[in-house]
Structure 1
Amino acid sequence: MEHVIPIEESLSREVEIKEAGEPSRGHDQPSSATEELSITVQEKGSNSSVEEKFKKLREAADNLLKRGTPHPKIRKVVLLRDHKNFKSYCEPRVVSLGPIHHDEKKYRLTEEYKLVLADDFIKKSGKRGEDLYEMVKKNIKQLREYYDEEVTEKYSDEALAWILFVDGCATLQFIDSVVKNKVKEFKIKDDHVAFVQQDLFLLENIEI
């Protein structure tokens, strides 16, 4: 009896087994005949794996675009709340800007200063305050989206629009006064000026 086993290797491996003898007489009869068995074994090599990786690589960008990129939102800094320097990094010292710390008692004094600054900004702008407020109110749905829902859920559209309007005008006027060295016109103490400048850049004190 003769066994012939040729082996070819490429992306797959093929093994053929031949047995010499008489021709086969059917499935029901003994097979002392020639039988040919072909076995194809898929090679578990690196080629198919690399192809799959490239497929995922090419699809990744499309999948990301389909999902869309969520807009970053202004929110409370939860991860740093237990940090010993949390207040220095996140909480304002003298002035609250935006909705996160708006209702806290320790900032009520500076609320009056913000109104004075905002009023001065409106006068110097040459526009009616009501018109500027309406511009904010008209876009309040979009502006609300820039904040985490937890931050703004307790405010109506009108209340949130007023906060952003006053704080925005006051911030612009304060910056203008510092640049022109006219902060003392608003009777703001020098140390408070320094604290306000720091507060403008705190993580939980961001005004749109």
Structure 2
Amino acid sequence: MSENEYVVSVEELCARKTVKRLVGRSDHEQTPGPVAISESQKNVTAVNDKGETASDIQDFRKSVDSLKEKSITSTTNNHKPKPKIQKVPMVLRSHKNFERYYEPRVVSIGPIHHQKAGLILEEYKLKFLAKFEEDSGKKIEVLYQSINDQILELRKLFDREVIKNYDDVTLSRMLFLDGCFILEFIVYFSDVIKGRKLENFDLKDDQTVYVQQDFLLLENQIPFLVLKLLMDSSLDKFKSKLISSIEEFICQNVMAPKDRNQYVVAHFSLEKEPDPTHLLELLQKAATFSPQSRDQNAARRQTTQQSFRNVQELRAAGINLKPSKNCSLTDIEFSSISFAGWLKLPPLIVDDSTGPKFFNLTAYEMCPDNFRTNYEVTSFVTFMDSLIDQSSDVKELRKKKIIHNLLGSDDDVALLFNEIAIDLVPNPKMYKDVKDRIQEHYDWRWTTWMAEAYSNHFSSPWSILAFVGALVALGLTGIQTWYTIHPAADS
């Protein structure tokens, strides 16, 4: 091949023109001077030394322009899109107990685990459908049509991979049946909680517990829009009952003692969450709701390196533990006076359902397209993990009525928090003010010495009484000695 190569484009063939391009030229060869280009040559598609034309990167140009347009629209409307219904993020799928914490035990909801082998309550869905038709006051055909008419919109609420094998009819039937089952079961569950006379569904107590846990798994969700469409299609009286039952269901699943649960009941309502993604998101909002805002100046403070490791070290530094007034996972505060400090933590029930709930709530917050969260649950779990190293830390939290251990031994609770916190990345701004204030108190060494002295010598009322008695005895001995040396003058 000669030193000079000619590349001819379609436009050139039409115009019978060619554009000369030098190729294979070494650095030491002389570069030719400028060449005049005619107007027709300016319109020829540019070609680089790799044979790529300008048209090859037009897809990039269109994609970048599209992203810019979406960004401007989102900023203008202050809109955070819903996260799509999807599988557990890849980073969490290698967990050794994945099936135990993330997959349904007795019933599947939605497309991810549809018709999974071994689930024992699939046939119960038809029983609940028949009861829902009766309670809603509408025929099955009318209820189904409300879902089928919106199937194109509902498809947009799923990750594409999740529903790629489902046509519109199959997906409509699945969402309709599962939606009716969810709503009627939640009404049934509400009646169980209130001790009312129950419809006979032949459900055992353990099955009822497992179903409500299955409803709160990330991979076992359907769009809340399905539930809303079915509620809107029902008679008003039953619709009101459905709304109150959903609120009660969510509040009952907040991991808080009964006396603190009333705080959630009083403040949480569907009206405050007008556009939820699914039931799991509703639980996340209820568990982290608090009227108190976190310190906005925390991010502007100089960050201090955390050196305290667990509850026992905090106690040694004179920091006491107290339960918060409400049960929001975000309600963590620290205050101090002199050498004493108080760390307030939300009271938490730890039982067999706590692990699956925390695992799925944190997985939901970690979904790649979830921009509706500040990692509240993730940050709480990692903060608690920083306080809990071993059973003695759990024991202290239990004594202060912060952790209510219904799981088993204190070792089991410590292992659970250590397990949940693996691979989690918290929001660095959450609790930054709390951590910095604890560290400042911890670094004030004389407070640690005072606290250690108090802990070692005044840990019980008897030691305090003994100390006071010793002081009194020492005082009386001093007075006696003084009068021995300086006897009173005779009157």
Structure 2 length-normalised TM? 0.28
Q: Which residue of 1 aligns with 2:441?
A: none
- Once the two structures are superposed, the pairs formed by residues 28-177 of structure 1 within 5 Å of their partners are 64-66=71-73, 71-77=82-88, 78-107=90-119, 109-177=120-188
Summarize the Cα distance change of 1:173–1:64 in structure 2 as closer, same or farther, 3 Å threshold: same
Supply the AA of the counterpart residue of 1:100: I
Percent identity over the alignment is 45
User: Per-residue deviation at 1:173?
Assistant: 0.5
Q: Does 1:197 align with 2:251?
A: no
Deviation readout 1:26-65 (Å, 9 max, x if unpaired)? xxxxxxxxxxxxxxxxxxxxxxxxxxxxxxxxxxx98722
Runs of 4+ in 1 over 3 A off after TM superposition: 66-71
Shift in Å, 1:84: 1.9
CA deviations on 1:81-102 (whole Å, 9 max, x unpaired) are 2102322332111110011101
- Deviation digits for residues 67-117 of structure 1, max 9, x if unmatched? 78654111111332210232233211111001110121222x311111111
Q: What corresponds to 1:17 in structure 2? A: none
For the structure 1 residues 183 and 65, does the alpha-carbon distance in structure 2 shift closer, same or farther, using more than 3 Å as the test? farther
Deviation at 1:123, TM superposition (A): 1.4
Q: Which residue of 2 aligns with 1:3?
A: none
8 Å Cα contact 2:85/2:222 also seen in 1? no
C-alpha contact 1:95 1:111 (8 A) present in aligned 2: yes
Aligned-partner residue type, residue 116 of structure 1: K
8 Å Cα contact 2:109-2:220 kept in structure 1: yes
Question: Which stretch has the larger CA shift, 85-94 or 194-203?
Answer: 85-94
The number of aligned residues is 147
State the alpha-carbon separation in 1 of the partners of residues 219 and 205 from structure 2: 23
CA shift, 1:139, in A, is 0.2
Q: TM-score, normalised by structure 1?
A: 0.65
Aligned-residue Cα RMSD (Å) equals 2.2
User: Which consecutive residues of structure 1, in runs of 5 or more, have no partner in the other structure?
Assistant: 1-60
| Structure-2 change in CA distance of 1:111 and 1:146 (3 Å) | same
Q: Secondary structure at the match of 1:204?
A: helix
Any unmatched runs of 5+ in structure 2? 1-67, 224-491
SS of residue in 2 equivalent to 1:167: helix
Determine which structure has greater relative contact order: mean sequence separation of CA pairs < 8 Å that are 6+ residues apart, divided by chain length: 1
Of the three residues 188, 201, 212, the one matched with 1:186 is: 201
Larger CA Rg, structure 1 vs 2: 1
Work out the CA distance in 2 between the residues paired with 1:63 and 1:195: 42
Question: Cα distance 1:152–1:129, how it changes in 2: closer, same or farther (>3 A)?
Answer: same
Name the one with the larger helix percent.
2
